Amino acid sequence: MFSWFWKGKADLSPGGSKVLRYGAPPKQTGSTGSTVSEFREQREAVYDSMFGEASEVYHEVFPAIPHIDVYVYPAREGRKCWTLVTGGMSDVPMNLPVKVRALKQGPAKRVELIFYCTEPRKDYQETLRQLAHFPHTYQTWIGPGHTMPNGNPPAAIWEFAPKLDTLLFMPSIVSEHRLLPDRLTLGGDPVEFLWMVPLTGAECEFKLEKGYNALLGLFEEHRHPHVFDPERGSYV
C-alpha cells in the first residue's frame, strides 16, 4: 500500500519544487451525484476508441468519492504492451490553487492516470486506484512534474522493484494519448492523462535539486521507454 506524508507547511527544494507531507487519509463514503453514470459512459466510449475492448475492469468494491475503476487493455496490433487506465478520477475536478487556475495554459482540473507495462499485475492496478483517490481525499491536486515518494523515508513501491520508491507524474509520451483533452470533456473541462512513472530515490533527489526539466533531459539522454521495466537501473 502506498504511504502518504502528513501535510504541513510547504518546504522548498533547491530546484524550486514545493514539498508537501501527508498523513493518514480521512474516511470518505457516499456518491458523486447523478452525473457519474453519464461521465462514465462518455469516458468509456473514448477509451474504447483509443484502446479497444478492455480485457478486465478492476472495480472498486467500497463506496468512495469518487468511485475509481482501473481498465486493463491488452497488447494488440500497433501496441506491444499492456495499458492500465483509471476511470472515475475525472468525475470530480481537482482543487487547483488560485494562482494555478489563473494560468492561461495551466494544468488540467480533471485527469485520469495511465501506465504502460509488460504484464497487468494487481500491484499496479491497486497503486493506480490509490493514487487516483489522493487529490480528492486531500482536496489537493497533482500535475506534470509532481513527484510522490512512498513514505518517509521512502520504501520500495513494489517488492519486486526494490530500487523504485517514488512516482513521477507527467504527460504521456504516446502521441495519441496526449489528444485525450480534444476528445473528452466532462462538466465543461477537458480531461488529460497523467502518466505514472516510477523513479529511484536518487532520481527524485536529482529532480528536487535540479528541477523537472533537468529530469526530462536525463530521460531523453537515456531514452527512457514508456513501457515500465521493473529491473531498470537508476539514471543517477
Which run of H or of E encompasses 18? strand 18-19
Assigned C-alpha cell, 155: 520504501
Q: Where are the alpha helices (DSSP H) in 67-159?
A: 98-101, 122-137
What is the widest separation between alpha-carbon atoms in the chain? 49
| Spatial distance between the Cα atoms of 23 and 3, rounded to a whole number of angstroms | 8
pLDDT of residue 9: 41
Run means of pLDDT, 10 residues per run, the chain, 236 residues: 44 56 51 75 96 94 88 89 97 93 88 97 97 94 95 94 96 95 96 98 95 96 95 94
**Burial (CB count <10 Å: 0-12, 13-18, 19+), residue 95:** middle
Q: Which residue has the cell 484502446?
A: 51
pLDDT of residue 155: 96
pLDDT of residue 7: 38
pLDDT in tens, 136-178: 999 999 999 999 999 989 999 999 999 999 999 999 999 999 9
Assigned C-alpha cell, 169: 507524474
Assigned C-alpha cell, 136: 480528492
pLDDT of residue 115: 98
State percent of the chain over pLDDT 70. Answer: 86
226 to 45, 62, 85: CA distances (angstroms): 24, 32, 14
